[in-house]
Each structure stands twice: as structure tokens, then as C-alpha cells.
Amino acid sequence: MRGPGDVLYTAYERQLVKGLPGERLPRHVGLMLDGNRRWAKLRGENTEHGHRAGADNIEPLLTWCDELGIEVVTLWLLSTDNLKRSEVELKPLLEIIEDVVDGLAASGRRLNLVGALGLLPDATRARLQAAVEKTSDAEGLVVNIAVGYGGRQEIVDAFRAMLLDAAERGESLESLADRLTIENVGDYLYTKGQPDPDLVIRTSGEQRLGGFLLWQSAHSEFYFCEAFWPDFRRVDFLRAVRAYAERERRFGG
């Protein structure tokens, strides 16, 4: 049975959706799904419990994005720094991520892996790639799975790939330097061909990027939410989108 609070939240959500200007909604939303460990600690549970609770909140989030017609979502599930965690924590976290990606692939989502995949264990990388390949013909919302992702690493990888391409063509460094533009670099990023994120959301009250989409977020709007990721609700998401829609984007102008 639904309580009075549920009814009020539903009514409030409807009001929020009704007030969103369709022409000012973000095309690409990046999310830093933060706070799983602290959420678990507050409940006297282990870290794995927190990560699984966070994983359970991903499909609802994507449903909310579908409802608003958002085109691209980037989910930061594992950073390059996270790979330095102890085996006791990292192994179950990788298994949870594998399960999440398998589930999203089975749901018909169109998935894309972004990150330094070579840093992942071979078995994890193979399973993720196999799941993503199954979604190549899927339509609708594109979901970027950021695993083994770091913004600095992405930029280094982009320039490395650019230099290797130039060397393969026999192009000199001087020629490469002469034609180098911001657009050229964008062609070598993990998210090449996609719009840059309009809105970046971080949960758990932390107000820092931590290396997320450093290049792509130059003109993004940021929204920091106090809720830990497992507690992030549709109403929190709608508030973030409303805040974005109410801002005047200047793009440095």
C-alpha cells in the first residue's frame, strides 16, 4: 500500500515533469554514481552490498532518461584510481559491473565502453566487450559505460592514438602540429562522434569532477546532489534537469 508520502512525491514529480521546457532539455547527461560505500557503511553493511544497491538503481535511471528523450548517458562505474583498490573489494565490484552490463545488453540498450580497457583484467574486458557487441544494432538511448576511466588517461590515449596514426601515414610532427585543432583531438576521444555532455550530475554531496570527462565537460553544467547514489530518486533526477533547464548557458561567451 502506498503511503501519503508516496502520493505527494508522485504529485510533485508530475509537477516537475510538466514544468520542464522540452526545448531546453539536455541531449547528453553524465553521471558520477558516487556514495555506494558510505551508504553501506551507514547501514552496517559491507562495501559489496552498497555497490549492488547502486547497481540496482541504474535501470530506473535509464528509464527516467528515456522518458525525457535524452539521447546519451555516460555512467562512471569504475575509475582508473578505483583499480588500485584491494582485491577483496575490486573483485566483487568488477563482477557487479559485468552483471550490470549483461543486464543492460539484455534489455536492448545500446551500449558503448569508454575507458582504458587494457587496464582491466582480461576476463572482465572480454565479458564487457561481448555484451556490448550484442547491442550494436540497438536504437534509442546510447549508454556509455565508463569503466577503467580517467579523464587524464583519456587525453593521453587520444594524443597517443593521434601520434601513432600520423606515424603510420608518414606524417611529420611539424605537419601534425600545424593542423592540430580541438576538433582533431575530439576525433580520438573515447566518446568520439557523440555530443559533449550538457549536464553532469554527481551524487553523495561531493563537489568535484575527480577526472570525469575532463575534455568534454568544458562547457557542461554541473549539478551536485546530496543523496548517495543508491538513494538517488526520480525526483532528484528531475530536480537536476530542472536546474539545468533554468540556467542560461553561455559557452564562455
Phi, psi values for residue 30, rounded to 5°: -105, 140
Residues 204 and 229: beta-carbon distance below 8 Å: yes
Q: Is-catalytic flag, 57?
A: no
Query: Which one, of 209, 216, 208, lies nearest residue 185 by Cα?
Result: 216
Q: Is-catalytic flag, 82?
A: yes
First to last CA, the chain: 52
Q: Where are the alpha helices (DSSP H) in the chain?
A: 4-18, 36-42, 47-56, 58-68, 87-106, 122-133, 151-169, 173-179, 182-186, 234-246
Give the list of residues 6+ apart from residue 77 with CB closer than 8 angstroms, or none: 33, 97, 100, 145, 146, 147
Q: Please identify which of the residues 46, 82, 99, 231 carries the catalytic annotation.
A: 82
Number of H helices, E strands in the chain: 10, 6
Question: Which residues carry out catalysis?
Answer: 34, 82
